[in-house]
Structure 1
């Protein structure tokens, strides 16, 4: 690891032990061209593995062609938006590529969203078509009259027939899957247009590829305009940074609707020409069985995924032997969890950091390197800025802070989105001059490693003392009985606000709230340790594994 150098007066680690800097090759300037180059290079290679099904790159090309022609025949015009209301199924990738081939913009939607959450996304994006699972159609049907959607394509929950079955992956529906009223069956549409090709469409690197809606934890969701350039650059960054090649197999544990799944799984696999292993939705015991069978080598996902694998009943130490390249982001990683995972499975979890607005990573721990732990806070570093990325820590008034001082992380680079869909005011507030103000509070050490303290909005003010929830959570994770922990500030008549912890326990373990409070009291300053602990079976999380402190605050208020 090299010492920091100075670039334009900003602290910046110029060289890492990770190969050459990422660059966008001319033939890979947009994500659609990137796929076409790969499909031409490895037509017979596996593009998707889904249970007992295999989908080659040539077949994926053919099916996405048919999807594009079907959209165009139903009136889709260049720039129109197509919503994908799907789990981690092959149809997601078919529809994504087909939308691009038709000149459209994909709008991935969380399949856990109910109608009241789906409607704002369809209205804000102005989607004219929706692809959804049959089981989700009732949620969509309830809100469609209030939207612009005029084409609804439904698909079965699990199509995982063998490679030789002509119905595999939506090329003909199994018996009994009749069309729902007002919808078109996706399999029937693909069969109808099978063998046809859409007119050639010119895609610019700066065209919007997907509208990826933020989780809405700080307000109404906003559609981040992830461009083709953004997607290709960070797919290339994953390839070079994580040292991936055509021999790798990508395991899709992150939801594909989320930016981590979109880039770290789909775009990266399409760039490599590697197989993408999908399993509908993450379930730890099933995932372990799939890993044993498919032998994936690389994945990136929330730390809650790896906690779940560690606590699964079939988590024998050899289960993850093939999975040699593991990165985790989206939620803070307790050092104790990384240690426990390594002790059990023999694999190291590398930290990675980014946002929807940075199209997945902006920082990552290099392969073969263990992230340093801050000796004062105990926080695990989120890594170094990736290729071509400048990250600064700023204080009040935008003043750049020196190493060691805590402030907001501001990021610029080729992966940063140009803005939010139809929201110029929000764009200017978050991206003044193209620099992303992340809302994450952290610092950089003298060697250039970055550390997150917490989100600005989650800071607790206890009688004038500032408490960061993550520091308390990291201490709780050191207790042998704790599986997951989330800390929030709750009203207190004396201190104004006090610290409360919500905890779930590991299977077969027991701990009383008083025991956990005493455990923290021994390890934290008097104003930091939780005065209240509530034990739950499960902590509320988003589909990507982020703990929902907002719901926990609401739960406390209702109690």
Structure 2
């Protein structure tokens, strides 16, 4: 019998049952139920403009009719290449109404990346910001299967053009494209025919970051979407008390589920602010008074460090979660001290349609006394999380191995990549690539990414442990640790550090700080102080870019 076979705590938060019923057969039915409950309520808030649920329903109906009239059919893919704007959500719902699959694309993607994503997904329709079409997509589209291009502007749906975001922005009409709102306007008042969606149909393709090989399109099904939206509503308290703030990018799985899907389910207003700019976000928090958000701790820290931040900016929140990047106990305490709010932790991947573990709302995550790691929660309901060795065998509780998850949030596979599906999702269980352990009470702790382990003189060094110790120094804002070649040790530990404003510290002082607190083989032998650490758009620090800098 496995150490994981008899766990009475599995999937039980408070008085909720472990056997968690999925309420809707598909995400479109979930959306329609929200419209029926509150048709005149605000669905999307974008600066001084808003879209009601009834309007979102009508706009997506019209767009779906237009798509079908243009040759779009069930199973076709529509790619969305925009920032956090209402048009993203309109296109998502319209794609489902037309029986299709939405493909979410990072708006930071350039020519080579966009070309790959459009070709790999086989998208036949592209929705793009006008500026992104002119700068990037126009060059790419002729060599893809895209036959309809809809363009849109960040200036739509609001009238108060913020100079901090939209300075110099003008409308751009491009030959061979259709304006989204004009296109939908031609079909306003019409209804698409009934669509036959099922729980195992793909709702959207979300592409992995491609840190190992080319990006893969995770096939997030309607069952995946409905289940994780319910998890956010019921165990994270998302949207229960009022608006949700979209701090994470909508193209990312955190934004897709922790912002859009749960706002459609509850229903609750979703507040959008185009892209993450700390001063703009702080103003929006005061203006719209959201009650929930989830984002990378790096984004939350950027708000705390922004000029003019006060505790009042977070006074409306009842629930704040961190996901998408590791959080240290030091960062958790700093956020609580600055805001008066306990930041909770969620952990998941693109392939788990956001959360596989969650810290129960109202309970702080424990800290492992040996490693100093902050727990990322316990398994979500209906979810089995195991710790396994390289041969796929369960390890005893407390031992370190790869985190493996099974449950209704795990994707069906990767689009058009059966070999990668078989390797990463054997038997439907996701091999996460993250290394961690589970304590006897069911709390999961992440040690690090499997591929980031440093082998120093035969000893295993996990970068995150060193980063957490560095974070304890009052001058350190952020830290990233990588392995670098060393003639004597094979590999040695190097830290890249950015400092808090107004502080000073030398590399030698930081090395001494770690040496006092860690085993001799773990502390960094090299420290380099830099202005900013490289990050993904979601705030995850890119260790690989730092490794690539080493000659």
What's the TM-score, normalizing by structure 1? 0.94
- 1:79 is matched with 75
Q: 1:147 aligns with which of 144, 147, 153?
A: 144
- Distance between the aligned counterparts of 2:463 and 2:158, measured in 1? 47
- 2:178 is matched with 184
- 2:539 is matched with 545
- 2:407 is matched with 413
* CA gap 1:455/1:25 in 2 versus in 1, 3 angstroms: closer
Q: Which runs of 5+ in 1 are unaligned?
A: 164-174
- Distance between the aligned counterparts of 1:195 and 1:205, measured in 2? 28
- 1:110 is matched with 106
Which SS does the other structure have where 2:541 is aligned?
coil
Q: CA deviation at 1:212?
A: 0.5
Q: Is the 8 A contact 2:131 2:172 kept in 1?
A: no
Q: CA deviation at 1:24?
A: 4.4
Q: CA deviation at 1:11?
A: 7.7
- Cα deviation digits, residues 38-66 of structure 1 (max 9, x gap): 11111100000010001100000011111
1:295 aligns to 2:289 (yes or no)? yes
- Cα deviation digits, residues 374-417 of structure 1 (max 9, x gap): 11110000010011101111113222111111111111001101
Q: Is the 8 A contact 1:11 1:448 kept in 2?
A: no
- Distance between the aligned counterparts of 2:536 and 2:239, measured in 1? 31
- 1:243 is matched with 237
Q: 1:343 aligns with which of 319, 323, 337?
A: 337
Q: Is the 8 A contact 1:50 1:279 kept in 2?
A: yes
Q: Is the 8 A contact 1:477 1:485 kept in 2?
A: yes
- 1:436 is matched with 430
Q: Is the 8 A contact 2:11 2:383 kept in 1?
A: no
Q: CA deviation at 1:7?
A: 7.3
- 1:170 is matched with none
- Cα deviation digits, residues 249-308 of structure 1 (max 9, x gap): 111001100001000000000000100000101111211111111110011111111111
Q: Is the 8 A contact 1:440 1:454 kept in 2?
A: yes
- 2:371 is matched with 377
Q: Is the 8 A contact 1:81 1:127 kept in 2?
A: yes
- 2:156 is matched with 159
- 1:476 is matched with 470
* CA gap 1:308/1:481 in 2 versus in 1, 3 angstroms: same
- 1:168 is matched with none
1:98 aligns to 2:94 (yes or no)? yes
**Counterparts of residues 213-362 of structure 1 (less than 5 Å):** 213-244=207-238, 246-362=240-356
- Distance between the aligned counterparts of 2:338 and 2:533, measured in 1? 24
1:51 aligns to 2:47 (yes or no)? yes
- Distance between the aligned counterparts of 1:489 and 1:7, measured in 2? 33
Which SS does the other structure have where 1:234 is aligned?
helix
Which SS does the other structure have where 2:549 is aligned?
helix
Q: CA deviation at 1:186?
A: 1.0
Q: Is the 8 A contact 2:86 2:157 kept in 1?
A: no
Q: Is the 8 A contact 1:54 1:162 kept in 2?
A: no
- Distance between the aligned counterparts of 2:309 and 2:371, measured in 1? 31
- Distance between the aligned counterparts of 1:102 and 1:384, measured in 2? 37
Aligned residue pairs total 541
What's the TM-score, normalizing by structure 2? 0.95
Which SS does the other structure have where 2:422 is aligned?
helix
Which SS does the other structure have where 2:90 is aligned?
helix
- Cα deviation digits, residues 441-477 of structure 1 (max 9, x gap): 1001111111000011000011111100000000111
Q: CA deviation at 1:23?
A: 3.7
Which SS does the other structure have where 2:321 is aligned?
strand
Q: Is the 8 A contact 1:18 1:367 kept in 2?
A: no
Q: CA deviation at 1:162?
A: 6.2
Q: Which runs of 5+ in 2 are unaligned?
A: 161-168
Q: Is the 8 A contact 1:88 1:278 kept in 2?
A: yes
Q: 2:123 aligns with which of 104, 120, 127?
A: 127
- 2:493 is matched with 499
* CA gap 1:7/1:517 in 2 versus in 1, 3 angstroms: closer
Q: 1:65 aligns with which of 61, 64, 79?
A: 61
1:17 aligns to 2:17 (yes or no)? no
* CA gap 1:462/1:8 in 2 versus in 1, 3 angstroms: closer
Q: Is the 8 A contact 1:22 1:240 kept in 2?
A: no
- Distance between the aligned counterparts of 2:543 and 2:144, measured in 1? 31
Q: Is the 8 A contact 1:502 1:539 kept in 2?
A: yes
Q: CA deviation at 1:351?
A: 0.9
* CA gap 1:113/1:18 in 2 versus in 1, 3 angstroms: farther
- Distance between the aligned counterparts of 2:9 and 2:120, measured in 1? 38
Which SS does the other structure have where 1:220 is aligned?
coil
- Distance between the aligned counterparts of 2:337 and 2:247, measured in 1? 22
Q: CA deviation at 1:8?
A: 4.2
Q: Is the 8 A contact 1:22 1:237 kept in 2?
A: no
Which SS does the other structure have where 2:55 is aligned?
helix
Q: Is the 8 A contact 2:401 2:436 kept in 1?
A: yes
